[in-house]
Structure 1
Amino acid sequence: MNLAEFLESKGKEYAPFDPKRAHRIYAKLAPMLRLENLKVIHILGTNGKGSTGRFTALGLLQCGHNVLHFSSPHLWRFNERFYRNGTDVSDEALEEAHRFLQRYECVREASYFEYATFLGLYLAQGCEFLVLEAGLGGEFDSTSVLRAHLSVFTPIGIDHKDFLGDTIESIAGTKLRAMGANALLAPQTYTESSLIARTIAKEQGAKIFELGTIESSAQLCRELEVFSACFGLESKEDNEWWQAYRAYVARYGYAEFLAQNLLVASFVLHFFGLSVDFETFPVLDLRGRCEWLTPRILLDVGHNEECAKALKSVIEQNFKQRRVILVYNTYFDKSVRHILTLLSSCIKEVWIFPIIDNPRVIARSDLEAILQNLGIAYRDFALEDMRDFQDYVVFGSFSVVAGFLDAVGARWTRLSVNTLKQKESNAE
């Protein structure tokens, strides 16, 4: 059975959960894996894990290190979850990893995500760094089988309530209990997350640094000074670094939440004595993270209220109070009513994008009922009806973003904001 057939038999991400299974399997695999010299950066949280991890991986690559970035989910191909030294791993590399794992009977019971994690561990052999993004959990997540050199917690919000509980306390507790000996906490939406993090760090004897919001060079220097003192590091960034960082953010038109994730990644790199050169730092190469395709088409994957709030801010800042057509669809277990309520003031009309052959998609009748109740006009998505003069925001599940990009028939490279503005000016 090849890898594709084996994964198909696993039933995707939502297999029955056993909190001890991944640790039990790893205990048997560990002696056969060469991971002794691997530095592990564990990325946990609710929002921003993918971009924070990728910015970190790009920084490590720029500094000359071998790195594997394990992330999920993927847009088009399973290979996207394994980004090794600047590119997605090949089919051949994945099949080799699969053949290795299939030697051991214990892996047969692994869930889809657990098996993906173990593939990632095999593929990380020979790398210096593993940037390991957790799934929806924390302490029981398969990515927690490794001891992290640094645990990084992105903003924790309310999501996956069926698995993690319906309060921020239960969700944050599950994620934060995966904390290693050293932890970096990104600015949090909920104060409860910070309180729980400090309590867990004290119980576990971990060093923890809570990053504040940084809006100036002076704030950066203060935060770095405290961060460096916490972990016994040398503080070395300065005003010139801050100016280069802001210029880089402006060059690619990153939304503020992406700029914040880049700052978090910069602190991660500082933990390892590294710093990026923003003059040559590459653009974020994860698709669908608040990505501009044209001056009037914005893509963003997201499915909770925090994502919707961040997207609303981007729309208000960039579309000059023009209402947008929202190309949208999502899953039944998401806070659809709250999300659409938050975005309603920015929406001219919703175009419902079809998600095919996915049992988790919200029933069309349920989505229509919500839209009708909110007084939002809606219709089916139709590519042929898109117009150059209209503003579009493509938002929702990974299936929506991937399907839209397939529908338009091109996988554009992100353009700089200056280029986008120039194109818009020329068009007018």
Structure 2
Amino acid sequence: MNLWEFLESKGQEYAPFDPRRAHRIYAKLAPKLHIENLKVIHLVGTNGKGSTGRFIALGLMQQGYKVLHFSSPHLWHFRERFFTHTGEVCDQTLQQAHEFLQQQDFVNEASYFEYATFLALYIAQGDDFLVLEAGLGGEFDSTSVIDSDLSVFTPIGFDHKDFLGTSIESIAGTKLRVMGKNVIMAPQHYRQCVSIAYEIAKDYHARIFALECIKSQTQYDVQYEKFCLTFGLQNTLDSSFWQGYVDYVSRYHLAEFLAQNLLVASFALQFFGIKIDFLTLPALNLHGRCEWLAPHILLDVGHNQECARALKSVIEQNFKQRRVILVYNTYSDKEVHCILELLKPHIQELWIFPLTHNPRVIARDELLAILEDLGIAYRDFVFEDMTDSKEYVIFGSFSVVAGFLDIWREKLCKIN
């Protein structure tokens, strides 16, 4: 069967769960791959992996390196997960990788996501860098089968509790135990994550740089000196770097959390002796990461309290005291009550976006009960009722973002 039929037969992305399966498969597959000279940047965390990884990839491509950025999930097509220096891989390349894997009968037991990881390893042959984004989480994730040259930990929060644990300590431990010998850690909302990281780094004899939140040239200079000391790098501080960064953030209207992700990416690149040229760095090319579709329409993927806090900050900054219409839906395993409680002061009304044929979506009765409990006015989403005089935030799962963009593009095509 072809790749698409094979993936369809796999069902859910992470089921059935076996924490050692990917390692067993990779032990047999590794000798058949030619990735000895591939530098691997492993991204692990709860939030910000996609944008941080893409900024890293764009910075590498800017310097002429051959790169594969493997990310998940996708909005519309599976090939979105494989972004290279020439753009998204084509279906033919994916099918070729699939045919190679099908020659190894031991690979067939892999789950959907594990199989995607092995496709990425095959496609990355001959590249300079693989920017490898974890899926479910650290030590239980198929992306952990390969040793990394640099581990980058984005903000860690609550998600996938069934797999990772119900406390921030257990979640952080599971993710952080995958660290390699060189570690960059993004600013963390939960400070205990940093303490746990240092404890694990000590056991692993790893070098770790925990980045603090940076909002000024002075703070950057201090952090950069600490970074160089951690990894034994020459301090080549460039006074123009900070201004270039500030101008880029302003030029593309980056939200604060995206600006921080860009800084994390810049440190990851400087670990390899690469500095971003902000004058020619392209805009972030990932949909749904605090994306403005129009001056009155903001689109953002979010699935936990940390995402809601970041969105709350963006709403406060851009809409001031005005309340917005929140177009929303999500999955049943998310912290829906906590998320909506955080956003409630800024919600004029919630429009429920329809998600059909997806067993993970929260039951309508359950969502309505939460809205009633919080006292949030609601109705069903109707695109035709959107007007230029009101402000909208489309927020929730990747399915919501993809579904809204489908409608948005269809309507624009009819207008044009």
Q: Equivalent residue of 1:7, what SS? A: helix
Q: How does 1:59-78 map to 2 (within 5 A)?
A: 59-78=59-78
Instruction: Name the structure 2 match of 1:423.
Output: none
Q: How does 1:25-104 map to 2 (within 5 A)?
A: 25-104=25-104
Contact 1:332 1:362 in 2 (8 A): yes
CA distance in 2, matches of 1:390, 1:255: 21
CA distance in 1, matches of 2:162, 2:342: 23
CA pair 244-63 structure 1, distance change in 2 beyond 3 A: same
Q: Equivalent residue of 1:122, what SS? A: helix
Q: Equivalent residue of 1:409, what SS? A: helix
Q: How does 1:267-278 map to 2 (within 5 A)?
A: 267-278=267-278
* Percent identity of paired positions between Structure 1 and Structure 2: 68
CA distance in 1, matches of 2:37, 2:319: 48
CA distance in 2, matches of 1:331, 1:51: 22
Aligned: 1:152 with 2:131: no
CA offset digits 1:292-311 (Å, max 9, x no partner):
01000000001100000000
Instruction: Name the structure 2 match of 1:424.
Output: none
CA offset digits 1:227-260 (Å, max 9, x no partner):
1111111222333110110010011111000000
**Equivalent residues, number:** 412
Q: How does 1:190-205 map to 2 (within 5 A)?
A: 190-205=190-205
CA pair 249-86 structure 1, distance change in 2 beyond 3 A: farther
Instruction: Name the structure 2 match of 1:246.
Output: 246
Instruction: Name the structure 1 match of 2:263.
Output: 263
Q: Which amino acid aligns with 1:350?
A: L
Q: Which amino acid aligns with 1:117?
A: T
CA distance in 1, matches of 2:289, 2:235: 31
CA offset digits 1:93-152 (Å, max 9, x no partner):
000000000001111100000000000001101100000000111012100011000000
CA pair 140-411 structure 1, distance change in 2 beyond 3 A: farther
Give, in angstroms, the shift of residue 410 of structure 1.
Answer: 5.6
CA distance in 1, matches of 2:314, 2:227: 30
Give, in angstroms, the shift of residue 86 of structure 1.
Answer: 4.4
Instruction: Name the structure 2 match of 1:319.
Output: 319
Q: How does 1:223-242 map to 2 (within 5 A)?
A: 223-242=223-242
Give, in angstroms, the shift of residue 195 of structure 1.
Answer: 0.8
CA distance in 1, matches of 2:382, 2:143: 40
Instruction: Name the structure 2 match of 1:134.
Output: 134
Q: Which amino acid aligns with 2:234?
A: E
Q: Equivalent residue of 1:6, what SS? A: helix
Q: Which amino acid aligns with 1:314?
A: V
Q: Which amino acid aligns with 2:345?
A: S
CA distance in 1, matches of 2:357, 2:237: 50
Instruction: Name the structure 2 match of 1:425.
Output: none
Q: Which amino acid aligns with 1:348?
A: Q
Worse-superposed segment, 210-219 or 232-241: 232-241
Q: Equivalent residue of 1:47, what SS? A: coil
Give, in angstroms, the shift of residue 219 of structure 1.
Answer: 1.4
CA distance in 2, matches of 1:110, 1:409: 36
Q: Which amino acid aligns with 1:245?
A: Y
Give, in angstroms, the shift of residue 20 of structure 1.
Answer: 0.8
CA distance in 2, matches of 1:159, 1:216: 31
Structure 1 unpaired stretches of 5+: 413-428
TM-score, scaled relative to structure 2: 0.98
Q: Equivalent residue of 1:328, what SS? A: strand
Give, in angstroms, the shift of residue 213 of structure 1.
Answer: 1.2
TM-score, scaled relative to structure 1: 0.95
Q: Which amino acid aligns with 1:391?
A: E
Structure 2 unpaired stretches of 5+: none
Instruction: Name the structure 2 match of 1:174.
Output: 174
